[in-house]
Structure 1
Amino acid sequence: MAGNSDPLTPRAKLAVTAGKAVAAASRAAGRGSGSVIGGRVALKLDPDLLARLAQNLDVVLVSATNGKTTTTRLIAEALRAAGPVVSNALGANMPAGITSALAGGTESKFGVIEVDEKYLAGVARDTSPKCIALLNLSRDQLDRAAETRMLAENWREGLAGSKAVIVANCDDPLVVWAASSSPNVIWVAAGQMWKDDAWSCPSCGGVMQRPGDDWFCGECGFRRPQPAWALSGDHVLDPHGSAWPIHLQLPGRANKANAASSAAVAAVFGVPPQVALERMYQVQAVAGRYDVVQFLGRDLRLLLAKNPAGWLETFSLIDPPPAPVILSVNARGADGTDTSWLWDVDYTRLSGHPIFVLGDRKLDLAVRLEVANQHFQVCENLDQAVQMCPPGRIEVIANYTAFQDLRRRVGN
């Protein structure tokens, strides 16, 4: 458990100090938070720094293709009921960013860490987590990430025999297969709206049967485990069958699912569901997501959607037609440069909405919308799109770097 003895060697302290200095210089130069460059410098000076920083913390790792940042934030709020928390709240989720975050929380009891899917096994090895939350696996950044089955295999091998309690979504067959190599798993029925990455059995390749909310492989018998926790409407059902109301300021079914998983994680550390869920109400926005901002005299709600699973959940959040919708898509390094995933998104769900398109890949998106038979206008920038929008709150949906561009423009 967390203690007060200083785990840091003189070399580690030097690495932390140098990392913080570089991060501060990066911020002063207007190059972002500096957490990644600061972490890189610190790890160069002491390659074992992440393990040293984690050894006095009760660590929770959160990994998934969708929902990592929000769930990390919800778990951090819940665990603050039991002690101080350090977290990479800004979403820098590779080893350098994680190291930077932990270096800022030496007095904390808990470390709640979002981890990029590809780095989960290595970060778990370095940080000896008490708990790991696995939410979903779906296609994302197609030029960078291996296909989802390979990511699941990477998790399965990396977590085999892990001492951590794994809190895993039993509705995603890929997550179940990945988590099943661990001796201590708590299953959560968090739901799965996007199913197109798990039609074949990850265990044997057979065709997955999906009657209702259930799933199983007719060939090898791999099947959905019995959940201990479940999302049921606006409530979380705990292992004793008690129903706890979810009150969130964050919108949508996906965030209720994130809250259900977060409540299960909090319970591992002795925080009761009622306390955990009450604390989650504090979260209004996560790194700008879901914020409503004023811009050019209009209300804009900023929504992030990075891949087909995320777009599907986001479409379920937006105001009904004829609410105007602005869509912005880039394809820079952090987004993945392959935009073929646009063809997996069902844009017919936007029928009846006036649509305005911008971003580096606005023409890719325009072709996709044309095929989906949607009415849209291509715009040069956000200002032009907002000025063309008919009345009503404007829903703005963007992928990762497009979202950052929009936040800078609206001063958020």
Structure 2
Amino acid sequence: MAGNSDPLTPRAKLAVTAGKAVAAASRAAGRGSGSVIGGRVALKLDPDLLARLAQNLDVVLVSATNGKTTTTRLIAEALRAAGPVVSNALGANMPAGITSALAGGSEAKFGVIEVDEKYLAGVARDTDPKCIALLNLSRDQLDRAAETRMLAENWREGLAGSKAVIVANCDDPLVVWAASSSPNVIWVAAGQMWKDDAWSCPSCGGVMQRPGDDWFCGECGFRRPQPTWALSGDHVLDPHGSAWPIHLQLPGRANKANAASSAAVAAVFGVPPQVALERMYQVQAVAGRYDVVQFQNRDLRLLLAKNPAGWLETFSLIDPPPAPVILSVNARGADGTDTSWLWDVDYTRLTGHPIFVIGDRKLDLAVRLEVANQHFQVCENLDQAVQMCPPGRIEVIANYTAFQDLRRRVGN
């Protein structure tokens, strides 16, 4: 994987310099981190720049519908035990953002890269990864993303014959089908709460049988593979049967699953589970997610939920009733403009919580909550919602751009 000590051609160096200058100008103008626009400019000047930047790195790619930003952070933390890491830690996960991140890591040994599901095959071609982590696939951004089975097919074709070690969640049939085209797969039993995208067999279309934690297709015999790593309660079981305790500051079962997959990835690079899991304890919040902030003399916990599977996981970790809950939903470009996914979320799980609704699409959400027989109040903005909340820590759940709006408002 290692090439000469300086793989960058004069053109590539120019592209990196120009990209950094544009990014700095964008930051100075208050338009965010500048990583995407900087990466776009750099790739325009040298279309092969991503491949050049990756060629001296041991690359890990992480892709999924939910949990990829957190898992990327956990893997990066674990691999720092073995050398310097460069990563797109802020979640800019399309080629421009990835290029921008790698351009800042000239001394790194490892590149730990979160990749948007639609771009995985192309980024894998460019970066020649040593390992690819596939966590889950579920419905998301219905107006823009392909239907989940088409995404799985895209992964399956793009990863066929890949030299990378694939670390894949054996509890998600779509992920298993996608990974099965690869010769070298490590299966992790990481669980799957959301099953509504995996009732039909991705291989033949037959009905999936799901006895207990197992699954198989009664028609073609496609079935859950035997895992060598597994999440078991608060422990990760490694291939030797040893149980390693998970200590995280991040809440919820989903993050334990992310830690299990991350430990399996770290082991590919020779970092033992005990070391990897101890290092993961350092991660407190990921791009503001799970942060508890003070606002108007109240404690607010900020939680991101972008799609039905994500909302389901988030409901499982909020404080019990009568903890107040603020829900915020937008439908801007980065969210997907179609809000029909709200009807796939089981909002009856919020029964007993005082609910306050804000965001661009608060009326869409209000109709959905009305049908779910929930008691709620529609508010103009976060300030008004917080003022109306009864005592207790406030759980604030928002989708992507709504979450960014909240962070700006609370100064996080």
Normalised by the size of structure 2, how large is the TM-score?
Answer: 1.00
What are the superposed Cα offsets for residues 305-351 of structure 1, whole Å, 9 maximum, x if unpaired?
00000000000000000000000000000000000000000000000
Total equivalences in the alignment = 412
Give CA deviations for 1:10-43 in whole Å, capped at 9, x if unaligned: 0000000000000000000000000000000000
Preserved CA contact (<8 Å) 2:65 2:140: yes
CA distance in 2, matches of 1:85, 1:131: 15
- Structure 2 CA distance, aligned partners of 1:380 and 1:214? 46
Corresponding position: 1:332 with 2:328: no
Task: Give distance in 2, aligned partners of 1:317 and 1:400.
Answer: 19
CA contact (8 A) 1:248 1:280 kept: yes
How much has 1:82 moved relative to structure 2? 0.1
Listed as ranges, the gaps of 5+ residues in structure 2 are none
| CA distances 1:375-410 after superposition (whole Å, capped 9, x unpaired) | 000000000000000000000000000000000000
The whole-number CA distance in structure 2 between the counterparts of 1:106 and 1:299 is 40
Instruction: Measure, in 2, the Cα distance between the counterparts of 1:3 and 1:189.
Output: 36
Q: Following the alignment from structure 2 to structure 1, what is the Cα–Cα distance between the partners of residues 186 and 249? A: 26
Distance 1:291 1:83 in 2: 28
**What's the secondary structure of 1:278's corresponding residue?**
helix
Contact in 2 for aligned 1:189/1:230 (Cα 8 Å): yes
Report the CA distance between 1:124 and its aligned residue: 0.1
- Determine the structure 1 residue equivalent to 2:4: 4
How much has 1:100 moved relative to structure 2? 0.0
Q: How many angstroms apart in 1 are the aligned matches of 2:4 and 2:401?
A: 40
Residue equivalent to 1:317: 317
Partners of 2:10 and 2:367 lie apart in 1 by: 57
Contact 1:2-1:109 at 8 Å conserved across structures: no
Report the equivalent of 1:149.
149
1:130–1:164 contact (8 Å) kept in structure 2 = yes
Post-superposition offset of 1:229: 0.1
In 2, Cα distance between equivalents of 1:293 and 1:222? 47
Q: CA deviation at 1:296?
A: 0.2
Deviations 1:120-172 (A, max 9, x none): 00000000000000000000000110100000000000000000000000000
SS of match in other structure, 1:86: strand
Could you list the structure 1 runs, at least 4 aligned residues long, displaced by more than 6 angstroms after superposition.
none
**Counterpart-to-counterpart distance in 1, 2:217 and 2:147:** 20
Do structure 1's residue 133 and structure 2's residue 133 form an aligned pair? yes
CA distance in 1, matches of 2:400, 2:356: 18
1: CA distance, partners of 2:262 / 2:9: 34
For the 8 Å contact 2:22–2:37, the answer to whether it is kept is yes
Q: What are the ranges of 5 or more consecutive residues in structure 1 without an aligned counterpart?
A: none
Alignment of 1:244-259 (within 5 A): 244-259=244-259
Match of 1:200 in 2: 200
Q: Is the 8 A contact 1:63 1:133 kept in 2?
A: yes
Partner of 1:300: 300
For the residues of structure 2 that align with 1:379 and 1:284, how far apart are their CA atoms? 30
Distance 1:57 1:317 in 2: 37
| Contact 1:120/1:155, CA 8 A, preserved across alignment | yes
Shift of 1:3: 6.4
Assess if the C-alpha contact under 8 Å between 1:369 and 1:376 holds in 2: yes
Contact 2:3 2:55 (8 Å CA) reproduced:
no
Aligned-pair CA distance for 1:2: 4.3
SS at structure 1 position matched to 2:367: helix
CA shift, 1:102, in A, is: 0.1
2:163 match: secondary structure:
coil
CA displacement, residues 35-78 of structure 1 (integer Å, 9 cap, x when unaligned): 00000000000000000000000000000000000000000000
Is the 8 Å Cα contact of residues 166 and 179 (structure 1) preserved in structure 2? yes
Q: Deviations over 1:262-303 (max 9, x none)?
A: 000000000000000000000000000000000000000000
> In 1, are the aligned partners of 2:209 and 2:218 still within 8 Å (CA)?
yes
Question: Residue 387 of structure 2 corresponds to which residue in structure 1?
Answer: 387
Asked if the contact 1:35–1:101 (Cα under 8 Å) also holds between the matched residues in 2, the reply is: yes
Measured on the aligned residues, the alpha-carbon RMSD in Å equals 0.6
> 1:23 is matched with which residue?
23
Question: Which residue number corresponds to residue 226 of structure 1?
Answer: 226
Equivalence map 1:108-187=2 (5 Å): 108-187=108-187
Q: What SS is found at the alignment partner of 1:197?
A: coil
Task: Give, in whole Å, the separation in 2 of the partners of 1:77 and 1:359.
Answer: 34
Task: After TM superposition, give the deviation of residue 4 of structure 1 in Å.
Answer: 6.5
SS where residue 261 of structure 1 aligns? Answer: helix
Distance 1:291 1:74 in 2: 16
Q: Return the alpha-carbon distance in structure 1 between the equivalents of residues 107 and 275 of structure 2.
A: 23
Residue by residue over 1:348-382, the C-alpha shift from the partner in whole angstroms, topping out at 9 and shown as x without a partner, is 00000000000000000000000000000000000
Name the SS for the 2:392 alignment partner: coil
The one-character-per-residue Cα deviations of 1:199-251 (angstroms, maximum 9, x if unpaired) are: 00000000000001000000000000000000000000000000000000000
Deviation at 1:182, TM superposition (A): 0.1
Q: Distance in 1 between matches of 2:212 and 2:285?
A: 33
Q: Matches of 2:106 and 2:231 in 1, distance apart?
A: 35
Q: Provide the identity percentage.
A: 98
Given that 1:36 and 1:92 are in contact with CA atoms closer than 8 Å, whether structure 2 keeps it comes out as: yes
Alignment check: 8 A CA contact 2:19 2:41 kept: yes
